[in-house]
Amino acid sequence: PAEIDAWHNPTLNASQRRAVREAVATDDVHLIHGPPGTGKTTTAVEVLLQCVDRGKSVLATAASNTAVDNVVEFLVDQGADVVRLGHPARVTPTLHAHTLDARIEDHEAYQRSQEKREDAFAVLDRQDDLTTPSGRWRRGMSDRKIKELAEQGRGSRGVPPERIEEMADWLELQERADTLFDEAEQLEQEAIADVLDTADVVCSTNATAGSDSQEAAQSGLQHTLFERLAHHHETNPDAPTSIRSLLRTQYRMHETVMDFSGRTFYDDRLEAADAVRRHTLADLGVTAEALSARRREMLDPDAPLVFVDTTGIDAPEHQRSGSHSRENPREAEIVTQLATDLLEVGVAPSGIAVISPYDDQVDRIDDQIGIEDLEVDTVDGFQGREKEAVLLSLVRSNDRGEIGFLGEPRRFNVAVTRARRKAVVVGDASTVAAGDVYDRFIRYAEQEGRVVRP
């Protein structure tokens, strides 16, 4: 492990510091496995800054614009000189000043390039009054032939001398404009290279994430690069020669929510920080007595993890005509009612997340709730984020036990672990239990959480 004399973030815990030391010391690759809420970004930023301290050029990438922006924000807070690659429209507005586009605007070479471009466009404007060498006037003559005829003051093929001269002038202006555009592009490249060369860290998106599609599975692309590397080398982060570190302390979830994820996905190696181990909605002023009697059992602050089993009610899934997505109107009603109850007892809209794997269900619930600050989105939309309470609608309910891509366990893990104090999962146990991860979850909820059947 690398010797580190000064930490940029002195609050890092022991597993985070170990991971940083191992990552900085590696000659090729080191994997930092960060379960939800364990401070992956915090740890990654420390690695980046330690590399900068050692005079290394650093490129930081992530699989989404949101993830990249999170890293940029952390680095900026630490005073690093960061350049964010990517279209400014896809970058968080508060970070626009750190985009490459914004960074080169004040560069001398870029300003000169803009002057060149303005000159080029002015030259092109002068072409408007001239005959364009095309169509009826060119008549098969090459550019070279037009210029020769113009110098001689001659016409050709029925084209009068004055038209020949105008076409020659048009060609000369085009050449001048092309030269100016080339010079402008060279100056822009000079500005870009200078900005990138002097930055501490360059941040951009990448394309290393796996895919959940059937086509991807058939092509062997359903696993991420991280998973492939971990599987190829070894999977035990405690091995002396391991290329992988595991972050063990999470700072987000109540331990009941955490334990399902820890046992199912991380070999029961996770532990909750004392500050979050037992926190609930009660800490936000929510009491069971204030809740609607019909849904009190579902939203009880003393039950951080609840599965609402719709098996016994009429709640089938539907598919809209022409849509590949799914929706479940009855589940949407239940989730909307739960969200409304939370709002009525004082939970802030910004503290609630409503999640569903299906776009059509997201649209239906969003329309029913209709509150701008209360986010309703797919699992992917909440990646890397957290909310005080998470309401998850699984949608699938049929007599065939078909769950489609719902069976992909990583998405379910992401969805449930967005919750800090309360996670309510709504679904048809008789259908979703066809997926191993849901079968485990339902049994876990029965033993450690709560199962409610409306």
Position 236 scores a pLDDT of 65
Q: 413, 264 in Cβ contact below 8 A?
A: yes
Position 218 scores a pLDDT of 52
Cα 207 off chain centre by:
11
**pLDDT of 220 above 70:** no
**pLDDT of 237 above 90:** no
Compute the half-sphere exposure of residue 425: CA atoms within 13 Å on the CB side of its CA.
29
**Residues 287, 290: Cα–Cα separation, whole Å:** 5
Question: Which CATH number does the domain 14-102+199-246 belong to among 3.20.20.70, 3.20.20.190, 3.40.50.300, 3.30.390.50?
Answer: 3.40.50.300
Domain ranges of the chain: 14-102+199-246, 108-197, 251-452
Position 242 scores a pLDDT of 79
CATH number of the 251-452 domain: 3.40.50.300
Q: What mean pLDDT is predicted for residues 240-269?
A: 92
Position 235 scores a pLDDT of 57
Q: Do domains 14-102+199-246 and 251-452 have the same CATH topology?
A: yes
| CA-wise closest residue to 306 among 291, 296, 316, 293 | 296
Query: Between 351 and 236, where is the model more confident?
Result: 351
pTM of the model: 0.77
Q: What mean pLDDT is predicted for residues 316-321?
A: 96
Position 413 scores a pLDDT of 95
Tens digit of each residue's pLDDT (9 = 90 or more) over 40-70? 999 999 999 999 999 998 999 987 888 899 8
**pLDDT of 323 above 70:** yes
In the block, residue with structure tokens 């672990």: 417
Average pLDDT of every residue of the chain:
91
Q: What mean pLDDT is predicted for residues 186-194?
A: 94
Determine how β-strand 58-62 pairs with β-strand 249-250.
unpaired
Position 215 scores a pLDDT of 54
Position 92 scores a pLDDT of 84
Determine how β-strand 375-377 pairs with β-strand 387-393.
unpaired
Tens digit of each residue's pLDDT (9 = 90 or more) over 64-115? 888 899 899 999 999 999 999 988 888 888 899 999 999 999 899 999 999 9
Q: How confident is the model at residue 208 (pLDDT cuts 50, 70, 90)?
A: very low
